[in-house]
Homo-oligomer: A and B are copies of this chain.
Amino acid sequence: MPYYIGDVIKEEKRLIARTPEKFRETGIDVRIDTRVEEVDQKAGRVRLAGGETLPYDILVLGTGTRPLMPGIPGEEREGVFTLKKLTDALRIKAWLKEVPCRKVIIVGAGFIGMEMTEAIGNLGIETQVFHRGTLPVNRWDPEFSKAVLAELERHQVGFVTEVEVRAVEEGKKYRLRLVTNRGEDEADMILMAVGIRPETELARRMGLPLGKNGAIRVNFSQRTPQEGVYAVGDCAESFHRVSGQWVNIPLGDIANKQGRVAGRNIGGGSAVFPGIVGSQCFKVFDLEVAATGLDEREATQSGFHPVSTLVWGNSIAGSMPGNKKLGLKLIAEKTTGKLLGAQSVGEAGAVSRINTLACALWAELTIDDLGWLDLAYSPPFGGAWDPIHIAAQQLRRQL
């Protein structure tokens, strides 16, 4: 009988909170708000925070990630948040409403920061993003990052660049003051969205090997090198099918898949997690932002010789009324023409293109394939030549 350790996803948590008996009926002892302090592998027992110990045959680590903090004075003040768990979201929601919150500063311009600008902006609360770099979402090409920045500006979200945060103090006009190299700014709430790391404290103490990315090493069955110990989700590594390397990409869909693979293997079946290609997307206001595979830097680090092209098109055919701007970048290996990665930003159709290209990466298609790919054409959804075709045929000339 396995015990599931770590955070459960939103829907599961709700389910558990509502129907704890349901799990007991099936013979599964699910404990929430329970911290495992230590694992005694010889005895096959876990020790909980309260001192109680429980026996196990199989141990699954699903300890997830922990959000990083900048490590500055005052960062523990009330009103400074990170966003990782459901309870974080509930606490933020309460704060926004009850304080009441007139202005929010978001530190960090990754996809969590971007999604939060929309969530907070849509409540009509003034929002400012403070970023250490010059453009948001550095996974994407600067041209696409600029499109994201323009979308923020279009929705009155401030964007302050090249910021080093130094301290959080008590504010005068607002509750908090953020001290940076750029001066002092006040807000009623500060969200620290500066990154996350795999939560592997327990794994480390168990002597489980970690990858250079800090995540728990697993094989394609989600087994760790220790007999009877599995790891799944954000705390574990995944095999990247394009780079051929083991990576840590903490995303919910990957965690779901790995959980199913581990569960099937534990349950006596047989399942293999065939890896990932690095697909990711988010929405910020009216913009879809998506990417898959490797960018040029990652491709070079993985031993490839990347070439790339970036095209702007329309996700509605030119013969139709309306215009929905869509940008697509393709990255390919110079010698073989094999697709290595893709990025897209658009008012519509960006996620759709990236999912098609994620499938192309999975199947190791080349730019030649993509130039002639038989996509479903109809004017409301694109031109007879899709941006995928146009970019692929354009990139082919560079090989």
Contact = CB atoms under 8 A, between A and B. Distances in A.
Interface stretch (A22-30, A155-163, A221-229, A368-376): A368-376
Contacts of A369: 274, 362-363
A280 interface: yes
A372 B274 contact: yes
Nearest to A383: B253
A279 B375 contact: yes
A243 B276 CA distance: 30
B273 A384 contact: no
Contacts of A360: 359, 363
A292 B378 contact: no
Contact of A354 (B318, B363, B376): B376
Contacts of A275: 374
A355 B9 CA distance: 30
Interface string A310-354: 000000001100000000000000000000000000000101111
A352 B357 CA distance: 11
A283 interface: yes
A355 B388 CA distance: 11
A257 interface: yes
Interface in A106-162: none
A301 interface: no
Given A253-B375, A290-B376, 14 more contacts: A241-B374, A253-B374, A256-B385, A274-B372, A280-B377, A288-B381, A351-B378, A358-B374, A358-B376, A359-B363, A359-B365, A362-B374, A363-B364, A363-B369
Interface string A258-284: 000000000000000111111111110
A375 B354 CA distance: 8
A384 B253 contact: yes
Given A11-B318, A378-B281, A384-B256, A373 B352 contact: no
A8 B253 CA distance: 46
